[in-house]
Amino acid sequence: MIRLFTQMRLIFIAMVMLLSLSACENSAGNMHTVPAEEQKADESAVPDSDTDQDKIKIAFAMDTLLEERWPRDRDLFREAVEALGAEVEIMAASGDDALQITQMERMISSGIDVLVVVPHNAEATATIVNMAHSAGIKVIAYDRLIRNAEIDLYVSFDNERVGELQAEAMQKQVPSGSYVYIGGAETDYNAHQFKQGVFNVLQPLIDRGDIRIVFDQWSQDWTPASARANMEAAFQANGDQIDAVISANDATAGGVIEALEARGLAGKIPVAGQDADLAAVQRIVEGTQMMTVYKPIHLLAEEAAELALKLAMGEPVVADQKINNGKIEVPSVLLTPIAVDRHNVMDTIIADGFHTEEEVYRNTEK
């Protein structure tokens, strides 16, 4: 009996202890211990510092996407920025100054780190630079210089050299005679640089009397229609006594050649352009345009993307040249353009994959 009583007493004590433990767990709010493996999994679920929110953000404010080259710049720049691990926001203003300024204001307010700008109007865009700087945002002028503003960097090709290449090629083809110059948009400072380069070469020949400039006019917004109207005005002023035409780019060269075709003169009066647009390169191999100036824009887009990230991170940027924009000497990175005619199309434009052989020689044998 004593043994039985003792066993029952032990069982009773054990039950009380179990009930006490259960009560303690309830009073602690059912707390439990998380295994170490689960703790590790929870920690890995917490976002680290390398999230999308922490990525450098680059804005690309573009003038237009209407000309052939600019969609290329857009896509190449986006690819280059994203390959470097940053984000990019891109807007194009279709040649509207007010819209471009509004777009840039929106970009600045969205919390970007660097603003990259292809200005429509080199002067009007200056108003946005102070706003960007006040927000701690660096500003890069892409391919077109922003005038009268303290921009941080200018990345482009050597635009005066572009004009010099045009004039050098034309002077070899037509060493003397009556020249027409069809400029780009007067609001675009690049157009002035191209023209300066052309006249760097032609002025000594003009002074000597070998060459006469019989017509010289800007083309509104770089449009082929404006260039064609200018070329028709040149004919009205000079009859058919025109020996050579230098156009500020390939779009304006296309308008010029339309005017020549209407008079049966396409291929008889040499025309120079620049940008290596597909239509222009096709005209070159077909014989209606003499030359273009090729600017490997993949190099420009990649360089601008790399420099934008360096500015965003506060790293030093090496700019070996300076260009005066009317207010300061702007640190500038200027790439080298290449003259192209029918003899070196394969070795330049096609070799780089800028256009394919099939595209260029669509109706022409090499």
pLDDT score of 50 more than 80? no
Q: What backbone torsions phi and psi does residue 340 show, to the nearest 5 degrees?
A: -130, 130
Q: Decide: 200 and 182 in contact? Cβ < 8 Å.
A: no
Mean pLDDT taken over the chain: 88
Quote the crossing angle between the two packed helices 159-173 and 189-208, to the nearest 10°: 40
Is 5's pLDDT higher than 70? no
Task: Compute and round to an integer the Cα radius of gyration of the chain.
Answer: 33
- Would the pLDDT of 178 be above 60? yes
What's the Cα-to-Cα distance from 42 to each of 32, 46, 49, rounded to whole Å?
Answer: 16, 7, 16
Percent of the chain scoring above 70 in pLDDT: 85
- Say which residues have a Cβ less than 8 Å from residue 290's Cβ, sequence separation at least 6: 169, 170, 173, 270, 271, 272, 284, 341
Handedness of CA 179, 278, 143, 336 (dihedral sign): negative
First to last CA, the chain: 119
> How many Å apart are CA 159 and CA 166, to the nearest integer?
11
pLDDT tens track for 105-162: 999 999 999 999 999 998 989 989 999 999 999 999 999 999 999 999 999 999 999 9
- Determine the pLDDT at residue 136: 96
Question: Mean of the pLDDT values across residues 311-340?
Answer: 95
Contact, 26 vs 18, CB < 8 A?
A: no
Check if the beta carbon of residue 213 is closer than 8 Å to that of residue 179.
yes
231-289 pLDDT tens trace: 999 999 999 899 999 999 999 999 999 999 999 999 999 999 999 999 999 999 999 99
Backbone CA torsion sign across 170, 176, 182, 188: positive
CA dihedral (109, 112, 116, 122) in degrees, to 10, reads 20
Q: How far apart are CA 113 and CA 152, in angstroms?
A: 13
**Complete edge-to-edge strand list for the sheet that includes strand 329-335:** 87-92, 57-62, 114-117, 138-142, 153-157, 329-335, 321-324
Domains and CATH numbers, the chain: 52-151+297-335 (3.40.50.2300), 159-294+340-360 (3.40.50.2300)
Contact 129, 139 (CB under 8 A): yes
Q: Band the pLDDT of 19: cuts 50, 70, 90.
A: very low
The mean per-residue pLDDT over the stretch 45-50 comes to 40
| Pick from 49-58, 59-68, 164-173, 235-244: least confident | 49-58
Give yes or no for residue 36 having a pLDDT over 60: no
pLDDT digits (tens, 9 = 90+) for 296-319: 999 999 999 999 999 999 999 999
